[in-house]
Amino acid sequence: MSALGDIVIVGGGVDAWTTAAVLARVTRGLATVTVVETATTPPGRMAALPVLRALHGRLGLGEDALAAAGALPCLALRFGDHLEPFGETGAAMDGVPFHAHWLRAGDGAPLSAWSLAAQAALRGRFAPRSADPRSPLSTLDHGLSLDGPRYAALLASTAEMAGARRITGAVERVERDGDRVAAIEVAGLRLSAELFVDATGEGVLIADEPWLDWSHWLPTGARLAESGLISRFAPAPLQAGRRARVVVGNVVAVGGAAAAIGAGDGGDLHLLQTAVSRLAALYPNSPAAAAEFNRLTEAATERARDMAILRWGLLAAPPPPLAWRLAQFESRGRVVTYDEETWPESAWVYAMLARGVIPRRWDPLAERLPLDQSRERLDRMRTMIAQAADGMPRADEKPHVIGMSPA
């Protein structure tokens, strides 16, 4: 990689410092990364999906450092009376997805009865995932409940150790050259850069780019319900929607400046993570790279939007991709997946069932196995999962479930 120009990140909190930590490590020696800290993270906690742990590994953030910053493991999401666990649920039989056999068996038990993560969470127990595929613990996975300010401080420390520098103050002036930002003025300093990252939440540098409004599907946002792990959630300052483009000229918007879903289920933080990883891999300093960055971001954002609509939004006239998912699942339990998915197939199954979208029939291939044999296998599997959950250590913090309800 040839030498890069300077990078200036404007904003604060998790959005800005996640971006700075990744870019400072990736571009060390090739670019100067400066964070113009214009805001801090408000008090409260935020949900993170299991995949965020891969980013932590990339940044060298171990479990001890995260625990010291207030991170707690989380085995499941709760939506009202419905539980959506991480990790695996059941196991495919004869090449047919497990939920098809569960639908056919129809014994009345919730799907989560076949999830070790769900059963452990209900019992207040926790154990890390096992690398042994023969162990029931190999089916576990967990997300995180993060203390927003402490997590942002950990990311800031990581970024600064990698060479990022910090300037504190409001943006006093933005100097533009066409669709590019030539420089900004902060605390009497004029800062120019090859790339500006808008991590301000409200979009200070990219405010002229149209905001596509999704409030007709997501009219109120959602807040995290009172629970043992989550006490409050600060929603994105903008109404639900996204920028028409997140790369304009030499400005890239990330986090709340790029999109606002506000479901509090980890989707927003996952979009930030993927945007920053994309920024490191696809440096958008050419028209082709910028166009591809915008295309991938649009796809990822709309996948997260559709899950939020399914979980708590208005389904009367859903976006076409979600309408197709609903129709296919209702027809015979088929889960449609697209490029740039935020959520695994199991999450869509749980969300559909929780919203009352029940398949009219199941995959006919499930009927290759005689019904009595299918039920026997499901019973054995359920018993094994319950026994494994009973044998797990009691968790220090309970309930290891992130609760959500519409605001």
What pLDDT digit, counting tens, does each position of 276-335 carry?
999 998 888 889 999 999 999 999 999 999 999 999 899 999 999 999 999 999 999 999
Per DSSP, the three-state class of 211 is strand
Residues 6+ apart with CB under 8 A from 405: 79, 80, 222, 223, 225, 312
Contact (CB, 8 A) for 340 and 328: no
> Does any domain span residue 244?
yes
**Arithmetic mean of pLDDT, 56-77:** 92
CA 238 – CA 182 distance, rounded (Å): 26
Model confidence at 223: pLDDT above 70: no
- Alpha-carbon distances of 272 from 5, 7, 237, 239, rounded to whole Å: 23, 18, 16, 17
Q: How many domains does the chain have?
A: 1
Q: What percent of the chain has pLDDT over 90?
A: 72
The predicted pLDDT at position 146 comes to 93
Extract the runs of DSSP E, i.e. beta strands, from 23-125: 33-39, 45-48, 72-74, 76-79, 82-85
Where does the pLDDT of residue 266 fall: very low under 50, low under 70, confident under 90, or very high at 90 and above? confident
Beta bridge partners, 394, equal 125
CA 75 – CA 338 distance, rounded (Å): 25
> Does any domain span residue 310?
no
- Nearest partner of 381 among 45, 187, 100, 98, judged by Cα: 98
> Does any domain span residue 352?
no
Q: Cα torsion for 230, 231, 236, 237, to the nearest 10°?
A: -170
Contact (CB, 8 A) for 42 and 234: yes
> Which amino acid type is present at position 180?
R
- Which residue has 């990364």 as its token pair? 33
- Nearest partner of 145 among 406, 334, 402, judged by Cα: 402
The predicted pLDDT at position 249 comes to 95
Mean pLDDT of the chain: 88
> Does any domain span residue 241?
yes
- Alpha-carbon distances of 65 from 73, 153, 198, rounded to whole Å: 13, 11, 27
CA 213 – CA 377 distance, rounded (Å): 48
Pairing mode, strands 195-199 and 251-253: parallel
What CATH number does the domain containing 187 carry? 3.50.50.60
Model confidence at 42: pLDDT above 90: no
Give me the phi and psi of 243, to 5 degrees please: -70, 145
> Does any domain span residue 326?
no
> Does any domain span residue 307?
no
Contact (CB, 8 A) for 37 and 16: yes
- Nearest partner of 139 among 61, 204, 85, 220, judged by Cα: 85
Contact (CB, 8 A) for 159 and 228: no
Per DSSP, the three-state class of 182 is strand
What the block records as the tokens of 158 is 């990581």
Per DSSP, the three-state class of 234 is coil
Note down the domain range covering 207: 7-302+370-406
CA 70 – CA 57 distance, rounded (Å): 17
How many angstroms separate the first and last alpha carbons of the chain? 47
The predicted pLDDT at position 79 comes to 79
Where does the pLDDT of residue 216 fall: very low under 50, low under 70, confident under 90, or very high at 90 and above? very high
> Does any domain span residue 132?
yes
The predicted pLDDT at position 28 comes to 83
Residue 48 CB-density burial (10 A; 0-12 exposed, 13-18 middle, 19+ buried): buried
Model confidence at 351: pLDDT above 90: yes
> Does any domain span residue 348?
no
Model confidence at 363: pLDDT above 70: yes
Contact (CB, 8 A) for 267 and 301: no
The structure's pTM equals: 0.89
Contact (CB, 8 A) for 111 and 377: no
Model confidence at 190: pLDDT above 60: yes
The predicted pLDDT at position 220 comes to 62
